[in-house]
């Protein structure tokens, strides 16, 4: 399924039904008085979170969402039927903005959460409401109110407990595949990952947490270089960051590059609880790995990084302590992960 995390949609709530002008005419009651009923309320456009969705792709093919109008009132004081609400399913982490004003309309995270993004118009009043001591046969009714209509901008921000960040080809997707049941595309060239991937890490005690693999960052990402800031917003909901660094490159320089990109995009991201995973242990000798590990441990202390781990995602070495540390930072037990075989 194609991953789409932005959409522009026109929403139109239903118009309220008009109030009726009617008079009661029944046998034995030839002058029964005003009896025009009220119009029905127009339908709302409602967004509802469905945890089975993970993309905004549907909105690309259906950019107009229109709810039903309310029915007009009828004689004998009969009210018009309300217009049916249009309930639209959206993935967890959906943000909705008014395109013209930029005002946030909804932030939908939890499964089943709902928000009205366009309110239906109120039904008009029938003439039965306008009778008075001086107006015994009013020929007055009010029209139904117009439903809200607007263009909205929809953004998807992945709901993940932890986020994997690093330069292109650092091994983030390989790490995600090693600790979860996710199957991201893996290849030996930069920018293999063009969209975020989401996986769930299962712990041995039955608990678990979600991990997002964010496409590789490069220096100046906040200025639009590389994949730019398009996917950085998916880190907004993460509680823990894992800097995945390539041991066979220059991990100290890479760490400063990635951290600088995060800080430039949102200073709060660089202050999140974080770990460093020095990946590709299988490509360097043990002595070199130990030397780099000690250098990064010193750097980690300087930037308040919790711990540094030396791993090989490809060979699945050193993953259990890393997962245990992630679980601990998330407030879960430090049980071992059930890594897929």
The mean pLDDT of 245-250, rounded to a whole number, is 90
Q: Could you tell me what percent of the chain has a pLDDT over 90?
A: 47
pLDDT digits (tens, 9 = 90+) for 15-67: 999 999 999 877 766 667 899 999 999 999 999 999 888 889 999 889 999 99
Spatial CA neighbour of 214 closest among 184, 193, 228: 193
Q: Exposed e or buried b for every residue in 86-119, given b needs 16+ CB within 10 A?
A: bebebbbbbbbbeeeeeeebbebeeeeeebbbbb
pLDDT digits (tens, 9 = 90+) for 129-154: 998 888 888 999 999 999 999 999 99
Question: Confidence class of residue 335 from pLDDT cuts 50, 70 and 90?
Answer: low
- Higher-pLDDT residue of 275, 226: 275
What's the pLDDT score for residue 63?
93
25-29, 181-185, 314-318 — which one is most confidently predicted on average? 314-318
pLDDT digits (tens, 9 = 90+) for 199-222: 888 887 778 899 988 876 655 554
Torsion of CA 294, 300, 301, 307, to 10 degrees: -80
- Higher-pLDDT residue of 217, 83: 83
Average of per-residue pLDDT values in the chain? 86
Question: Confidence class of residue 289 from pLDDT cuts 50, 70 and 90?
Answer: confident
Residue ranges of alpha helices (H) inside 77-194 are: 172-179
Cα 241 from Cα 164, distance rounded (Å): 6
Domains of the chain: residue spans and CATH: 1-156 (2.70.210.12), 162-329 (3.40.50.300)
Cα 285 from Cα 247, distance rounded (Å): 10
Model confidence at 1: pLDDT above 80: no
Q: Could you tell me what percent of the chain has a pLDDT over 70?
A: 87
Model confidence at 227: pLDDT above 70: no
Question: Confidence class of residue 104 from pLDDT cuts 50, 70 and 90?
Answer: very high
| DSSP β-ladder status, 64-66 and 6-12 | parallel
User: Residue 30: CB partners within 8 Å, gap ≥ 6?
Assistant: none
- Please give the backbone phi and psi of residue 212, each rounded to the nearest 5 degrees, phi first: -110, 135
Spatial CA neighbour of 56 closest among 128, 138, 170, 156: 156
Paired with 11 in beta bridges are 65, 150
What's the pLDDT score for residue 220?
52
What's the pLDDT score for residue 339?
57
CB 3 within 8 A of CB 195: yes
Least confident of 122-136, 151-165, 324-338: 324-338
Q: Is the full-model pTM beyond 0.95?
A: no
Q: Exposed e or buried b for every residue in 39-51, given b needs 16+ CB within 10 A?
A: bbbbbbbbbebee
Spatial CA neighbour of 326 closest among 340, 297, 306: 306
Question: How far, CA to CA in Å, does 172 sit from each of 80, 280, 281, 313?
Answer: 58, 11, 14, 8
């Amino acid at each position: 399924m194609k991953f789409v995390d932005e959409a522009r949609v026109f929403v139109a709530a239903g118009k309220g039904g008009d109030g009726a002008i009617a008079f009661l005419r029944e046998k034995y009651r030839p002058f029964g008085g005003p009896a025009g009923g009220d119009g029905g309320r127009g339908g709302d456009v409602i967004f509802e979170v469905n945890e089975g969705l993970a993309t905004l792709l549907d909105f690309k093919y259906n950019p107009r969402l229109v709810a039903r109008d309310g029915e007009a009132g009828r004689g004998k004081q009969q009210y018009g039927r309300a217009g049916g609400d249009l309930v639209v399913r959206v993935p967890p982490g959906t943000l909705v903005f008014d395109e013209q004003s930029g005002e946030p309309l909804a932030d939908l995270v939890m499964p089943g959460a709902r928000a009205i993004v366009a309110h239906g118009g109120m039904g008009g009043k029938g003439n039965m409401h306008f009778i008075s001591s001086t107006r015994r046969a009013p020929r007055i009714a009010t029209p139904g109110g117009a439903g809200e209509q607007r263009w909205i901008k929809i953004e998807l921000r992945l709901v993940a407990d932890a986020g994997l960040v690093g330069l292109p080809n650092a091994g983030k997707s390989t790490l995600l595949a090693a600790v979860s049941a996710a199957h991201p595309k893996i290849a030996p060239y930069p920018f293999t990952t063009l969209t975020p991937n989401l996986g769930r890490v299962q712990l041995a005690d039955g608990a678990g947490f979600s991990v997002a693999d964010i496409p590789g960052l490069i220096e100046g990402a906040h200025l639009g270089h590389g994949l730019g800031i398009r996917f950085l917003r998916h880190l907004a909901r993460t509680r823990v960051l894992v800097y995945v660094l390539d041991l066979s490159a220059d991990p100290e320089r890479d760490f400063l590059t990635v951290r600088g990109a995060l800080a430039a995009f949102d200073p709060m991201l660089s202050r999140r609880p974080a770990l460093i995973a020095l990946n590709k242990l299988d490509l360097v000798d043990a002595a070199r790995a130990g030397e780099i590990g000690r250098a990064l441990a010193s750097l980690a202390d300087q930037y308040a990084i919790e711990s540094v781990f030396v791993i090989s995602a490809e060979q699945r070495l050193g993953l259990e302590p890393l997962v245990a540390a992630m679980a601990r930072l998330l407030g879960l037990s430090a049980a071992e992960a059930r890594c897929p075989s």
